[in-house]
Each structure stands twice: as structure tokens, then as C-alpha cells.
Amino acid sequence: MAEVSVRPAAIRSGRPERVAARAPRAETGLWHRPALLNLISDLLTLLAAIGLGWALVIWFVSRPLFPLREIVVLTPPAKVTEEQLEYAARTAIDGTFFTVDLESVKATFEKLPWVRKAEVRRRWPDAIELRLEEHQAVAYWTVSESGDARLVNAQGEVFVAASDADMPQFDGPQGSAGWLLARHAEFSDLLRPLGVRLVGLALSARQAWQLKLDNGLVIMLGREQDRSALADRLKRFIAAWPRVREQIDIDIKVADLRYPSGFALTPADGTVLLHAASQGARKGKQ
């Protein structure tokens, strides 16, 4: 039998050795925060429900369940014909009550001759309401640079349409129609004492004004130095014209007001008559 020796373990010190106890580490990852996970899950569910609901709405309104059946014209037009309205409706209406593009419908009707503005809106359950504002033509218009013929409305806007109405003729540079409209009203008021009507008004590229009256007389007013000076030339002529007509028993075609203290008159034969406000009329050379 083998001998086994027993030896007591060596004691390093008289105090027992202490072992530090570690506290369990708290888990901070996303997957260990159930409240946050529940919140994210609820948000995702809500977003999915909203997306699904929106898709269902789009699908529903795009079904042919809400067709447009009529356009109700609330302002019967005076110039636009029924055929033009029907053509515009067939061109513009594309879609159902919910999907039709109202801006496109509006733009289509505003392209019609005589239409200045169009307003459209839906009327439940199958109609579109239409309001039209038509141009009120007050003059014919010719662009000096191109010779294009147009019409001028009461707002001084140029538009394209056919008309045979008795209206004055405007001629001027591009963009000057509103200016001519305002001046036509001003000159017409000044000419009223003569019992004539202003049927033509032209503005040259150099800003020179020319008037044509219904009796055939053409008045060359010239360039505008300032607003009062232009009106003063015309007033001076209007004040002197009755007396001049008594002194000159001939048909005058042109009155040239581009003189500082008088005006020149040109009859049909081309002879120039110079008139000074304080001297009466005298005959001059052409």
C-alpha cells in the first residue's frame, strides 16, 4: 500500500481573502426596451393603415362610378356660341367627378374667342358649373410692327375675335393698346364741342399722335412733350376751328398742330394754309 502524505495548505495571511461581487449589467439595447418597441409597432401600423386607406380612396374615386354628365353654364354668353361651348367641353372633360382637372377645363374655355375669364367648380354629384366673362370690344387694333389685326376690350387688353361693329380704329406699337384707349377717351371729351366723333387714333414708334374724325379730317397732333402741352394743342385748334371754317370755304383734309403758336391746314389739292391763333388764316406754299 502506497504511503500518502498529507500536508496542510499554506495560509498567506491571517485574514480571509475578499472576492468583489459584480452587479448584473442593465441591458440597454432596442430589443430590451419593450415600451419603445410597442410605440414603433403602433406607428408602423398607423402608417400602413393610412397608406392602405389612401390607396383605397384613390381606387374608389377613379372607378367609373361618378361620371360627369353635364356642364351648367351659369352666365349665358352673348358672343360664344353653343357649338363652341360643346367643342370645348368635349376637349376639356377627361375623368370623373373627382379626377377631372379643373385648371385644364378653365384653360380650355379661356381659349375660346370672346372669353376673357372662365370659372369652373364641381357640382355634386355629376356636373361642373361654368361662369364666363366675355370681352367687351371697344376698338379695332392694328400692331404697327406686324400689321396684325386684333380687338381691344374695355380694360385695354388686346384679344383675337371677329367683329363687324362700328368701333374706332387704334394703331400703335406692341403693348400700347391701353394707353391709346385712355387717350381716346380724353381726346373724345375735348372734341365734343365740335360735334365730331374720333374714329381713329394712331401712335407712331416715335410717340407721335394722329387723330382721325368721322368727317374725314386728320389731325396731326405730334409728339408729346408733357401731358398738358399735348392737350393744349388740341384745345387751341378746337377753339379756333369754327372761325377758320367760316373764313375758308374749302374741304380740309389734314390739320397739322405741330406748330408752337398755330397750325397748318391741307385741303384736297395739297395747298398748305398756315393759321396763327391771333392772325386768322393765310395761304402759304406747300
Q: What is the pLDDT along the chain (286 residues), one digit of tens a residue?
A: 333 333 344 445 555 555 555 555 555 666 667 777 778 877 888 888 888 777 766 666 566 678 899 999 999 999 999 999 999 999 998 888 988 999 999 999 999 999 999 999 999 999 999 999 999 999 999 987 777 889 999 999 999 999 999 999 999 999 999 999 999 999 999 999 999 999 999 999 999 999 999 999 999 999 987 555 889 999 999 999 999 888 888 889 999 999 887 899 999 877 777 766 644 444 433 3
- What's the confidence (pLDDT) of residue 250? 85
Determine if the pTM surpasses 0.75.
Answer: no
Strand partners, 129: 72, 121
pLDDT value at residue 17: 53
Sheet containing 262-267, strands listed edge to edge, beginning at the edge strand earlier in sequence: 158-159, 149-153, 137-143, 169-172, 198-203, 208-213, 218-223, 252-256, 262-267, 273-276, 280-283
Rounded alpha-carbon distances, angstroms, from residue 10 to 5, 7, 18, 172: 15, 9, 17, 124
Q: Where are the beta strands (DSSP E) in the chain?
A: 70-73, 115-123, 127-134, 137-143, 149-153, 158-159, 169-172, 198-203, 208-213, 218-223, 252-256, 262-267, 273-276, 280-283
Q: pLDDT at position 286, please?
A: 34
Q: Please say whether the beta carbons of 141 and 151 come within 8 A.
A: yes
The identity of residue 33, as a single letter, is R
Distance CA 234, CA 196 (A): 14
The full set of domains in the chain, from first to last, is 70-134 (3.10.20.310), 137-283 (3.40.50.11690)
If you count them, how many residues does the chain have? 286
- Please name the residue that has the C-alpha cell 385712355: 182
274 and 266 Cβ atoms separated by less than 8 Å: no
Check residue 35 and give its pLDDT: 78
- Residues 110 and 115: their CA atoms lie apart, in Å, by 5
Q: What is the pLDDT of residue 261?
A: 79
In sequence order, which residues have a C-beta less than 8 Å from that of residue 241 and are 6 or more positions away? 194, 255
Q: Residues 6 or more apart from 193 whose CB is under 8 A from it?
A: 238
Question: What single string gives the DSSP state of each residue in 171-226?
Answer: EESTT-HHHHHHHHHHHHHHHGGGT--EEEEEE-TT-EEEEEETTS-EEEEEE-SS
CB burial of residue 109 (10 Å; 0-12, 13-18, 19+): buried
